[in-house]
Amino acid sequence: MIEIKGISKIYGRGEGTVNALIDINLQIENGKFVSIVGKSGSGKSTMMNIIGALDKPTSGEIISDGNNLSKMSDDQLAEYRNKHIGYIFQSFYLEPTFTVLENVAMPLTISGMKKAEREELAKKAIKQLDLEDKTNKKASELSGGQKQRVSIARAIVHNPDIILADEPTGNLDSQNGQEVIKLLQTISNSGKTVILVTHNIDDAYKTDKMVLLKDGRIQKIIENSEDTKKQALEGFNDYDKNGDLINRNF
Amino acid sequence: MGFFNILKLSLHNLKNNKLRTLLTVIVLTVVSIVIIFLSGIAYSFYRSVNENVNYIFNQEKTEINISAVYEEANEYYHNINIKLDDVDNIIKILEKENYISYISFFQPDNFYGTNTMNLSIYDSYIDISIMPFYAKSNPFIGKENYLERGRMWNSSDENTNNIWLTAKYIGEYELGDTISLCDQNYSYNNDSILVKSDYKVAGFLNVSESSNSSGYGFIDYHNYNFAVSSLNEYTSYSNKGVIKNIYATMIPQKDYYYGIKAQNYFKNTVDEIEDYNLTFGNIQVYCDLVENLNLLAILFYVMIGIVGFISIIIILLTIGSVANTIKISAEQNRKFFGVMKAIGMKNKSLRHILTGQIVLMTLIGVIIATITVHFSLIIIKGILTSLLKSMFYQIEPIVICQISIFIPIAIAVILIGFVLLFTKTSLKNFSKMDVISVINEVN
């Protein structure tokens, strides 16, 4: 369970102050597939960074399975991320000169795991993502969809509790994008908490819970089915009568 | 993160920009070669001089009284004319002894009225030519005796070289001993040394039996060996004649073809000295072996100073180059490090990776330099040894580098240490990079 209590994040001082997040309260249950949706500047990236232990809130607390992330040091947060968080970036960011195996095993390398052990786990994750034939290929030789799958494999190799996917379909075509979302659903179904940050409403509909952010505040939290979500979005300024975003992609 | 993983990532980052890495390694290699070579010269010089000095001062000196060839040499003691021919002759005499390790002779300006050729042979292994040095005093000072009222001869000793000493000398001399008698008013000319004669002790007189003649100064040089260029102190004696030049040239042991070459060597030396004398006239410069060795020590320290100064300058320049390379490498790999941090790498590990790059480049440079210098010196040593053999017999060239293993290790430690010191703050700041901004750049 991730508990976000009264989180605020302020950047800058004086006239340049930006309230990225204002008094956010949220609970994310284990094993849920949650999306954080909003336009650019809504604060979704900031929220992701705080949940992902990359940043600390200016005020408030975030407690993840008993760990108070607000009070941890940089090294403790790094260790926490290495053990409990799996990251999926929009641009994948794989090291192009490393093989798929080396890229996937990177979180385990950082944790100090022995080579034989980490290669075994990495191969397992690679197999899960149907990339066995690419194991020894350099990351630079892969297509966009394949790279994103490698990125997902890297995110799950160390069996983290939370997967954070930051616009994972942003650089993919729709087909690959759909595949990625399906993969995330599968991962979520295996009991992991998956948090999807996106401005793609179609992707967001596929999650268990949608958290709508606007101007640093939670506008609405919508759970259940896609239809429920669409209905719930009616009347919101940014959404048309069908519950679709007026600009589908921000 | 484990040590080998850190090294692996360090190596990976170095490979990311092969050209810059290669250039930096080349700089480190060249710098290391220069420092190793210079240090080796100084080290080798120090060892050679030190060993030789220790040998001289710690070994048992053998003063050879060349009794076996004394009589033959004796005739050269008289009417000595310090010319090249005499040098030849002296060397020939000594050749019979089957070794020469040290030869000295001196060329008096005003002499103390006696045979001033003296030979001292020391068993020495210094294979370097001590600089010509000069004594400004008569080495016989304090050694001469005045013949008390003795008689030069008895009537039966007429036309002989017999001399009767006063009873005072009983015990000090025995019958048959040879002493050199010189007149108080000794004479000389510029080209030769004139002596009175050698006298044989024929007997001892009671004082009352001695004549009232004034004493004669004599120097018993036959039993007198003094180290011309060694540790004896010389006293000034300016008005009775001054030994102008004393040359000591050490030539190598006999085992090698020293004969003709030794003569040539001496001839060249004498030629130089002759010219020098003419130029400087009566300038007296006092110097002996101890001073020469002290001078060598000063030379050594000067050499160390120069080597040290040059080394410091080039190390500082190298540090700047390496530090710059690391900073650029860090910036180039910013995204990589950012993502690594995002997935859990600690600041310390990031610093270790960058440190690993410094260590790897430096070690590669120093190792290549050490191997290069080592094999180069083998070649240089071979060439120089052949060259010096043809000039100075088979001697160990003292300017040949010897590399102590500590020199490359010290260089590596100094370079790594200083680079880390200079880059400490920037690496620390870099390791605390804002991961979020990097992630945003990535995305």
Quick one: B330 and B436 in the same domain? Answer: yes
Say whether A79 and B346 touch across the interface (CB within 8 A): yes
Q: Which residues lie below 8 Å from residue B130, measured CB to CB, with a gap of 6+?
A: B229, B248, B249, B250, B289, B292
Question: Would an 8 Å CB–CB cutoff place A90 in contact with chain B?
Answer: yes
Tally Cβ neighbours within 10 Å of residue B17.
Answer: 16
Measured in angstroms, the CA of B353 and the nearest CA of chain A are apart by: 12
User: Please, which pLDDT band fits residue A241 given cuts at 50, 70 and 90?
Assistant: low
Say whether B440 and A55 touch across the interface (CB within 8 A): no
Residue range of the domain that includes B195: 144-223
Question: Would an 8 Å CB–CB cutoff place B342 in contact with chain A?
Answer: yes
Nearest CA in chain B to A158: B343
Q: Select the residue of B340, B435, B442 nearest A54 (Cβ to Cβ).
A: B435
Query: Strand ranges (DSSP E) for chain A?
Result: 2-11, 18-28, 33-38, 59-64, 67-68, 85-88, 162-166, 193-198, 209-214, 217-223
Measured in angstroms, the CA of B346 and the nearest CA of chain A are apart by: 6
Nearest CA in chain B to A154: B343
Quick one: B20 and B165 in the same domain? Answer: no
- Nearest Cα to B88, choosing from B262, B212, B321? B262
Burial (CB count <10 Å: 0-12, 13-18, 19+), residue A243: buried
Unique residue bearing structure tokens 């210098």: B373
Say whether B343 and A82 touch across the interface (CB within 8 A): yes
Chosen from A83, A109, A150 to mutate, greatest number of chain B CBs within 10 A: A109
Query: Strand ranges (DSSP E) for A78-231?
Result: 85-88, 162-166, 193-198, 209-214, 217-223
Average pLDDT, chain A: 85
- Set of chain B residues whose Cβ sits within 8 Å of the Cβ of A93: 335, 339, 442
Final residue belonging to a domain, choices B198, B223, B248: B223
Q: What is the pLDDT of residue B54?
A: 54
Q: Are B137 and B235 in contact (CB under 8 A)?
A: yes
Task: Could you please state the CATH topology (level 3) that the domain comprising A31-56+73-233 is classified under.
Answer: Rossmann fold (3.40.50)
CA separation for the pair B46, B301 (Å, rounded) = 9
Kindly report the length of chain A.
Answer: 250
Is B244 part of a structural domain of the chain? yes
State residue B80 phi and psi, 5-degree precision. Answer: -70, 135
Pick B65 or A53 by higher pLDDT.
A53
Give percent of chain A with pLDDT exceeding 90: 22
Quick one: B51 and B75 in the same domain? Answer: no
Question: Which residues of chain B register pLDDT less than 70?
Answer: 45-161, 180-199, 205-297, 384-385, 387-402, 440-443
Q: What is the pLDDT of residue A245?
A: 56
Question: Would an 8 Å CB–CB cutoff place B437 in contact with chain A?
Answer: no
Q: What is the pLDDT of residue A12?
A: 78
Q: Select the residue of B343, B348, B442 nearest A107 (Cβ to Cβ).
A: B343
Nearest CA in chain B to A103: B340
Question: Would an 8 Å CB–CB cutoff place B165 in contact with chain A?
Answer: no
**B275 dihedral zone (left: phi>0; alpha: psi -120 to 50; beta):** alpha
Question: Would an 8 Å CB–CB cutoff place B424 in contact with chain A?
Answer: no
Interface predicted TM-score (ipTM) of this complex, two decimals: 0.84
Quick one: B437 and B320 in the same domain? Answer: yes
Q: Which residues lie below 8 Å from residue B265, measured CB to CB, with a gap of 6+?
A: B249, B251, B392
Chosen from B15, B433, B439, B440 to mutate, greatest number of chain A CBs within 10 A: B439
- Domains of chain B: total: 3
Is B292 part of a structural domain of the chain? no
**Residue A226: its H or E element:** helix A226-233
Question: Would an 8 Å CB–CB cutoff place B428 in contact with chain A?
Answer: no
Please give the model's pTM, rounded to 2 decimal places: 0.60
DSSP state, A188?
A: H
- Set of chain B residues whose Cβ sits within 8 Å of the Cβ of A82: 343-345
Is B429 part of a structural domain of the chain? yes
Quick one: B166 and B204 in the same domain? Answer: yes
CA separation for the pair B199, A150 (Å, rounded) = 112
Is B70 part of a structural domain of the chain? yes
Average pLDDT, chain B: 60
Question: Would an 8 Å CB–CB cutoff place B443 in contact with chain A?
Answer: yes
Say whether B344 and A110 touch across the interface (CB within 8 A): yes
Quick one: B93 and B13 in the same domain? Answer: no
Determine the distance from the C-alpha atom of residue B108 to the mean position of all C-alpha atoms in its chain, rounded to a whole number.
27
Q: Which residues lie below 8 Å from residue A5, measured CB to CB, with a gap of 6+?
A: A25, A60, A61, A62, A63
Q: Are A168 and A196 in contact (CB under 8 A)?
A: yes
CA separation for the pair B393, B395 (Å, rounded) = 6
Nearest CA in chain B to A163: B343
Question: Would an 8 Å CB–CB cutoff place A87 in contact with chain B?
Answer: yes
pLDDT tens sequence across B337-371: 888 888 888 888 888 888 888 889 889 999 999 89
CA angle A150, A152, A155 (to 5 degrees): 115
Beta-bridge partners for A2:
A28, A64
Question: Would an 8 Å CB–CB cutoff place A138 in contact with chain B?
Answer: no
Question: Would an 8 Å CB–CB cutoff place B346 in contact with chain A?
Answer: yes
CA separation for the pair B110, B126 (Å, rounded) = 31
Quick one: B201 and B102 in the same domain? Answer: no
Across residues A146-160, what is the average pLDDT? 91
Q: What is the pLDDT of residue B242?
A: 32
pLDDT tens sequence across A168-211: 887 778 888 888 888 888 888 888 999 999 877 888 888 888 89
Nearest CA in chain A to B343: A82
Is B203 part of a structural domain of the chain? yes
State residue A24 phi and psi, 5-degree precision. Answer: -90, 130
Q: Select the residue of B335, B340, B436 nearest A110 (Cβ to Cβ).
A: B340
Is B291 part of a structural domain of the chain? no
Q: Are B69 and B119 in contact (CB under 8 A)?
A: no
Q: What is the pLDDT of residue B46?
A: 67
Q: What is the pLDDT of residue B410?
A: 87
Quick one: B157 and B249 in the same domain? Answer: no
- Largest CA-CA distance found in chain B, in angstroms, rounded: 128
Quick one: B184 and B71 in the same domain? Answer: no
Say whether B349 and A154 touch across the interface (CB within 8 A): no
Quick one: B420 and B304 in the same domain? Answer: yes
CA separation for the pair B326, B10 (Å, rounded) = 11
Measured in angstroms, the CA of A72 and the nearest CA of chain B are apart by: 13
Say whether A79 and B344 touch across the interface (CB within 8 A): yes
- Set of chain A residues whose Cβ sits within 8 Å of the Cβ of B348: 75
Say whether A110 and B16 touch across the interface (CB within 8 A): no
Nearest CA in chain B to A115: B5
Quick one: B305 and B405 in the same domain? Answer: yes
Q: Where are the domains of chain A?
A: 31-56+73-233
Quick one: B328 and B438 in the same domain? Answer: yes
**Residue A119: its H or E element:** helix A115-128
pLDDT tens sequence across A119-146: 999 999 999 888 889 999 998 898 888 8
Q: Are B181 and B218 in contact (CB under 8 A)?
A: yes
